Each structure stands twice: as C-alpha cells, then as structure tokens.
Amino acid sequence: MTAPLDDAYYLAAQSDSQRATDYPYAAPDGAFVLNAGRLTALEDSALLADRTAVLSVGSNRAPVQLHRKFGGDAIVPVTPAILHDCDIVHAATVSYYGAVSCTAFPSRGTDVMLNIAWLDDAQLAIMHRTEAVGVAYDYVRILTGTVTHLPVPAAGGDIVVAAQPVFGYSARSGVLDLGADQPGGLSRIPARNRQFPTLAQDSAAALVQAFINGVEPAFDLGKGRDSFIDRVTGDRDCRKAVNRRLADRAIHADGPWKVQQVEADDIAAFL
C-alpha cells in the first residue's frame, strides 16, 4: 500500500543529531513530486522530460533530503523502481553530519525497493557536489536491465520506458566490513531475498566507534552515540582520519554500473 504524502511527516525539521541517527530517513513507497516545499502526486509524465534519472539508494530517497539539497523552490519528480542483484549496505564512510553512509553492493538474487529522482541540469550539478563526486562517490551509469521502473497509476501507468538511462552514485571507499568480509545491509531499506545481515544506523555507528577506539584510541571517539556524533562532526580532521582507517579494511566489489567522468566543484564542505 502506498503511504499518504504527508508533508508534516516526510518534511519535518531535523536536529543535527536526528540527521545522523535517523539516516536514511523516511520516504514514500510510490511516486511523488517535491513541489516548492510540498509533496504532491505525480500526475503528469511530462514533468520527467529533459531530466536525468538518478537512482536514490540512501538519504536521497527521502523528501527531507531533497528539500535540504535543492531548496524551497525546487521541483523534483520521483518515481518508484526496483534495483536487481544488489543490496544497499553501509559504506566505509562517515558523513560530515555523522551518519554511516550507504551504497549499492552486488548481491545476486536480491531486489531492493528504491526510487528515482529526476533532476534538471542545475539539480544534477548540486547533487554531484553534495555526493563529493570523485572523492567520496563515483557518478555511475547503471547497466541496462538492472533497474525496473514501476508504474505510476496517477500519471498513466508505465510512464518510464525500460531503456531509460539510469545513473547513480557508488562509494569509492568500499563498504563496511562486519567481519569475515561480510557487508551489512540497511535495515530501513526494504528488500527481497536479502543475503546479508542488516544493521540499524545506531548499530553501524557503534561498530565503527568500537573498531576505531580499538585500533586508533588517539582518535577518542568516546562511548555512546552522542560522543560519536560530536567527535566526527566537530573535528573534520578526525572524521577524515576515521574514514581513511575504515577504507583500509573496506570490502570492494564490482557492481552492475560504469563510472562516468564528470567535473564537480566546491565539494570541500561535504567531506
């Protein structure tokens, strides 16, 4: 059943702590339009014209994140999709706002329920910057057949053709190792036939905190979630050092996508 488009729920203000602990945030399970700070039904397929289809695997699924990135005047149509033979797992990266980020990772037979944000050229440039393309994430083209576009009944049904090019972002750091080369899926992202164990955001952060405190006690991430958030958000050098240490033991695998060459400026604020 498709959840109602409740502005008060999906666009609620977040504290700095909630940005970390609630990641990857709530998202409707059907199509919608973020329309100047409100959520409306997607009823006109023409809204997708001349826009780039970008698969949202983490917080970009959520209206609150799209609103944060693109501003109060933005119009962003979003359609539902399924990503095949992949799962969404915790990346070996802590974001500048204190969340353990995520990325797609190959998982044969797994289907993940996601959505696609249709971005105009200016929005795509903003997305490249906020994803720190070339440093934190690669911009990729998803291989044909890996994504199935779901119908949008209010706009006429099958409004996206199967051959529609779909792009996305893949973490350059690799993914978080739970032990024995085992990734951890995001428990808040729905999937079928999941192969990996799942972790909530708090558990992923606690795993990172325990690992770093064990191997690099000088980083002093403390105990508890609040201490972790304070350290990684308040000390950029510490966060970058933590991410380098996580990348040293990350898991890597080739996914069903091809890296695209792009230029992205002004990414420093998002590292």
Burial of 203 (0-12, 13-18, 19+ CB in 10 A): middle
Show the CA angle centred on residue 184, arms to residues 52 and 99, nearest 5°: 65
Mean pLDDT of 18-28: 96
Mean pLDDT of 117-130: 97
Respond yes or no on whether the N-terminal peptide bond of residue 4 is cis (omega within 30° of 0): no
Mean pLDDT of 33-59: 97
How far is the C-alpha of 162 from the C-alpha of 19, rounded, in Å? 34
Q: Give pTM, 2 decimals.
A: 0.94
pLDDT of residue 116: 98
Q: What is the pLDDT of residues 133-148, one digit of tens each?
A: 999 999 999 999 999 9
Q: What is the pLDDT of residues 201-239, one digit of tens each?
A: 999 999 999 999 999 998 999 999 999 999 999 999 999
User: Domains plus CATH for the chain?
Assistant: 7-257 (3.10.490.10)
Neighbours of 9 (CB within 10 A): 14
Which residues fall within 8 angstroms of residue 256, CB to CB, at 6 or more apart? 85, 86, 106, 142, 143, 146
pLDDT above 60 (res 120): yes
